[in-house]
Structure 1
Amino acid sequence: MSGLSTSSSTLSTTSASDATRGLLLGVAGVLMFALSIPMTRLAGGSDAAPQLDPAFVAFGRAAVAGLLSVAYLLLTGARRPRGREWGLLAFTAAGVVFGWPLLLGFAVRHVDAVHASVVSGVLPLATAVIGALALRQRPSLGFWACALAGLALVVGFAAWRGAGGVEMADGLLLGAVVCASAGYISGARLSQAFSAEQVICWVLVISLPVTVPLAVATRPLEPVAASAWWGFAYVSLVSMWIGFFAWYRGLALGGTLRVSQVQVMQPFLSMLFAVPLLGERLDAMTVVFAVAVLGVVWVGKRQPVN
């Protein structure tokens, strides 16, 4: 009896330890991803002071992370994809390697990182919507109400910042959100066959025949600020690679439902990082919109989906 009690106690302790580690890794992943928008803006600059071409930032970061992924897959002895897995990898790459970085990069040339952070705040809810549609689930009316409220808040914020009109950059940001959400869903399906780290590595590796030539073709021919290269290094090593390792491992250890809740803080953290990094201004109305979006996303993620 005492032996059984010891075994149960050990199992309980291990589970609690894994849950804590998973949550900490999830928080670390969110912190790393929260810097993605400000660092993308730092790398590409603005219309008034352009730095690296947004296309180079998108293709170059994937090329760097892809070459690192080759080494990782070889060292871990990962198996090769087969059958329909190739199609899912290609679809995931279209969303998270090409769609999100390209559209985000061009958008933040025209709007500041604080603006982009608020609009992209609906990403967790958009992922839930696309996931529900892809899996043919039946979300509750409360879920759809939150999804529509989130979209209305984002469009309202964009119109307010655009002095009564929604700018093209806002359309690019919403397109980036859709691309990332679709890529996350297909990537999640692949995680049933591969470890989460191997999924992002294979996605990056199969993209290399496209990303490397395009990165070379769009490389800067004129000098740019050192800060732009620091921003590029960050999105290449952290946003495109290391961040996924922490995030996916956190989800696996701590549970997707529990750990994913911390993602709702990502846009607010992005806004806070943009102030010291880029010297952007955080006004009261922007904070109000950001908090409203976060609130809707938080409530929406708790609505039943059957």
Structure 2
Amino acid sequence: MSFPELKLGDWTAQLRGRLTPNQLLSEITWFRVGGPAQLLFQPADEEDLAFFLKNLPDDIRVTVLGLGSNLLIRDGGIDGVVIRLSARGFGGIEVLDGHRIKAGAAVPDLRVAQAAAEAGIDGLTFYSGIPGGIGGALYMNAGCYGTETRDRMVELRAVTRQGEIVTLSNADMGYLYRKSNGPRGAVFVSAVYAGTPGEPEEIKQRMREITEKRESSQPIRSKTGGSTFKNPDGHSSWKLIDEAGGRGLKIGDAQVSELHCNFLLNTGEASAYDLELLGETVRNKVRAKSGIELKWEIRRMGHFAPGKDVREFLDGDVFTGAV
């Protein structure tokens, strides 16, 4: 399917970034599924983004995508404007005084961990175990192995929906487990992190250990979105799924990983519908077995294809729009 052309006006001629109508988003998500963006905008830099948002009519929906790792875009695609920050304009890393490091929102988490290690900055090794980029990590308070983004992020720069460039503190973000509560509609463009002094070789060794652990326990070389469900208090999602008989469960080419059953896989030509239906099937099985209702960690967004709605726990409400 495709969307009608979104006509914005002559002011777009002043943009330095790229506008692409009906861009297939399956090309940029790790699951390799999903419909088109009505209009994809890749700004040249922070000022270009601010100009775009300032002039964009308020009634047009804006959706921001990162590197596409923790994301399930539905087969019907996303209406309005989808913004994706490029490495060229938002991929810089700068080492600052006081054992701090500044990173653009398009920088992969792993690169930030590596740059910090080279500079003798400890405390950011956890980013070597998280797929995706800094923008997504800031949005969802990404973390692993006992450390979260909120533990190290000092401040971030963002462009508001009105096109204003602002600086936000850690407190402004209202971080919770795998969630932030910053200004609605703001696009994060960079962040400053504070670490502690460390020996580069010791830090790198711990990063190697994290990488080895991930590679031995997670299907990181498959078409996957990463960890699917949040861990409920006092429980591990993978264990609840395993106990409910979900390990290896399949719907079409969508499958629960045999290696780590909190990961969904696209083993071939799965659709977003297959993956989301499988996820809700897993949630239903866990609820029936343990009474615990798993919550999605992967962001699901966009429109269902006609006749391909997915209901919560298979029998509840139909999801609509971005989640």
Structure number with higher strand proportion: 2
TM-score, with length taken from structure 2: 0.24
Structure number with higher helix proportion: 1
Greater RCO between the two (CA within 8 Å, min separation 6)?
1
